[in-house]
Amino acid sequence: MGKRTIRDKLIINFAAFTGLACAFGLATILLNAWMATDAAVLEAEHVAEMIANNGIVDPLDHVDELQQHIMKVHALQKRDVFVVDRSMRIVADSDADEIGSRFTYDRAGVIATTMNEGRPGKFVEDNPSLKESNKLVVIPLRRDQSRSNSEIVGALALEYTAIYDELMESVHLFIRFIVVLLALFLAITYALSSHISRSIIASLKRLQGAIEALIQGNHHARVNIASEDEVAELAGCINRLADKMEASFRDKEERLAANAEQLRLMNIRLADEVQQHKLSAERTEYFAYYDHLTTLPNRRMFSHLLGAAIAQASARKTALGLLFIDLDEFKHINDTLGHAAGDELLMSVATRLKECVRVGDTTARLGGDEFVILVEDLREKSHLEALAAKLLDALQLPHRIAGAEFRITASIGISIFPDDGEDETSLMKNADMAMYQAKRHGKNNCQLYCEELQSHMERRFMLESSLRQALERQEFTLAYQPKVCAASGRIIGAEALLRWNAQPAGFGNLGPCDFIPVAEDSGLIVPIGRWVLETVCLQHNEWARHGFGELNVSVNLSARQLADSSFYNDVVSVIARTGIDCARLEFELTESAAMENMEQTIALLKAMRKQGMRIALDDFGTGYSSLSMLKQLPVDAIKIDRSFIRDMPGDTHANALTHAIVAMSKVMDLRVVAEGVETVEQVDFLKQCDCDEFQGFLFSRPVSPEAFFALLEQQKALDTLVS
């Protein structure tokens, strides 16, 4: 055998190692594919065993319970499940339409073998109607699944196509990775071996010459080497370098130990980060379907549950009920107490809702202050009404929040499947519609959906659309009702009242009390109110040019306008644009509107009065009337509601109340305006009470701007005649 160089040895080792690497890669690929297939089958068998072990004895005698259990599994995992008896007839199936038919897509007879031998099996469903073949595992279904020797009465099959495909996709990715890695490894190894062989040989020969030159004085020092390669030629040089190499090795070993400790600490930190990431992922997955505050099912989860319940109720020809719950005035509580207290209240509400429902019913939080309850297997409509009454009573009980007791009410809308809708969207929409009807009926009550409600909502929607068009087409006008000074009998001001002249057909004769509430609910009152204010200011400027600049004019405000963040800036902008004297502009608001957000309203009214505008409290005596409220609200005048004026002077109670209101107002230095004055006797009594101004049909109905100007001209002519 000739002399073998280092290059020859490297090439031989490279060829051997390459063969081992390829063999290992092939073995790894085959093992991974086998493990993936086995894992998919084991997972499916495990899930199938869980489905079968549902506690039902004699499952074929309780197919309804078995079917219900299968439908729940299908709704959660989206996997086909079916059960056949000994005759291959399907008795339960995630596709209810297949129940009763024979299963004929098992050519290999795996199901029959499983039922005969009592061992799990697997097969591919050869259904020609399927685009892709389904892979299924089948396990024996025993009369008592908890006993392994119990009689086999059928078989349960579970699809595992999705998880098999998912695992095989991972295998394919792994195969591609191994192939690329092997190719890269082979290329790098070959390149490195070629490079190293050339480099080592050249370096050793250069090193040999250098070392021999350094050690010329010692020709007898030798190292006995049995081999005949280049290393033997350098043996003498290596012996003399041994001490230095040992010292260098010790230094490298110490550095390697330090690096190993750093690597160990990094591995610990990495393991901790992986665990934290896993916990975070689990938490994220949980809260994708459950509300993080109340732990109730959220809107997404409830949508799945409702869809499954509808499918089941449709198949079983049963009814189900939906209760849509919205808390009354929750925003006011949240704004007043803060979001932390609001969250605590929502958790308390969720607890009470769960305590009121049956074990099988579903309670969910859709978001905000909206909750929903799903009642399955509904027998009587009266059960839903009784449940709603129970919920209302429970919610009204005091809630202990932030160390204090608070009460809250709710409005509930009810819809029923299939009477009020046969799909999720219809049921939710109609229950929501019924809930808003409960709100309009004074809140703290429940309403059932009916077709009349749908007609009412459609009519309301059409009215809202017509109002929007009316604003765009400038179909609104203003009427002005005079305000008369009690002492002089002269017109000193007017209240601007909105009128809709070009009303659409099909609604009858709509008055302000018909369309203004719709404008408020829809938010259209904000742009309408902006138009009213600018029109009033321009009209006052017109009267001022004719010598009536001392006239005061009033504009009504709604709660929606008071809550609008841009309202104050809009008012200031209109005043600046029109140039009206702020002292001649008065805003009227009701007590109920002021109370919706007391703090915000007080701040807004103070800012308006600071600009010189005046504020009047309208319909006084019909809302939250109290001395404490009057002390807080920055107002200049109160308007006694017409319900008091109507019955005087014949009603002693109305007389006494009116007298007390006027006396109280005088003490607080407030002007008093009496609304709805229609008789001379009322005028005489109000003068005795020291009322400041009158407004009513006795003096004039609301009239057009031209007619009101004519009244001013008549008064001016009379003043000239008297003087």
pLDDT at 556 over 80: yes
CA distances from 15 to 10, 189, 193, 460 (A): 9, 10, 11, 86
| pLDDT of amino acid 250 | 67
Q: Which fold has domain 299-449?
A: Alpha-Beta Plaits (3.30.70)
Q: Please tell me the chain's helix, strand, coil percentages from 3-state DSSP, rounded to the nearest 5.
A: 55, 20, 25
Q: Which of 86-100, 270-284, 649-663, 675-689 has the lowest mean pLDDT?
A: 270-284
Confidence of residue 613 (pLDDT cuts 50, 70, 90): very high
Burial class (CB in 10 A: 0-12, 13-18, 19+), 242: exposed
| Interval 372-392 mean pLDDT | 93
For residue 478, is it left (φ>0), alpha (ψ between -120 and 50) or beta? beta
pLDDT digits over 305-327, tens only? 999 999 999 999 999 999 999 99
Residue appearing with tokens 């999705």: 162
| pLDDT of amino acid 627 | 58
Report the range out of 13-22, 136-145, 524-533, 714-723 with the highest average pLDDT.
Answer: 524-533
C-alpha span between 64 and 83 (Å, rounded): 12
Please give the sequence-ordered ranges of beta strands (E in DSSP) within 486-604, or none if there are none.
491-500, 552-556, 585-590
pLDDT at 541 over 80: yes
Q: The domain at 471-709 falls in which architecture? A: Alpha-Beta Barrel (3.20)
| pLDDT of amino acid 43 | 72
| pLDDT of amino acid 578 | 95
Confidence of residue 210 (pLDDT cuts 50, 70, 90): very low
pLDDT at 711 over 90: yes
| pLDDT of amino acid 32 | 65
Confidence of residue 236 (pLDDT cuts 50, 70, 90): low
Contact 158, 44 (CB under 8 A): yes
Contact 595, 623 (CB under 8 A): yes
Question: Does residue 77 or residue 324 have the better pLDDT?
Answer: 324
602 φ/ψ angles, rounded to the nearest 5 degrees: -60, -45
Cis peptide, bond prior to residue 418, ω within 30 of zero: yes
pLDDT digits over 105-157, tens only? 888 788 888 888 888 888 887 777 766 777 888 988 888 777 777 888 888 88
| pLDDT of amino acid 144 | 76
Segment (H or E) for 632: helix 627-632
| pLDDT of amino acid 178 | 78
| pLDDT of amino acid 581 | 94
| pLDDT of amino acid 648 | 87
The answer for residues whose C-beta is within 8 angstroms of residue 594's C-beta and 6 or more apart is 562, 601, 617, 629, 633
The answer for residues whose C-beta is within 8 angstroms of residue 549's C-beta and 6 or more apart is 543, 581, 584
The answer for residues whose C-beta is within 8 angstroms of residue 336's C-beta and 6 or more apart is none
pLDDT digits over 669-698, tens only? 999 999 999 999 999 999 999 999 999 999
Question: Does residue 208 or residue 140 have the better pLDDT?
Answer: 140
Q: Which of 236-245, 277-286, 397-406 has the lowest mean pLDDT?
A: 236-245
C-alpha span between 204 and 233 (Å, rounded): 9
Contact 680, 648 (CB under 8 A): no
C-alpha span between 680 and 693 (Å, rounded): 14
| pLDDT of amino acid 238 | 60
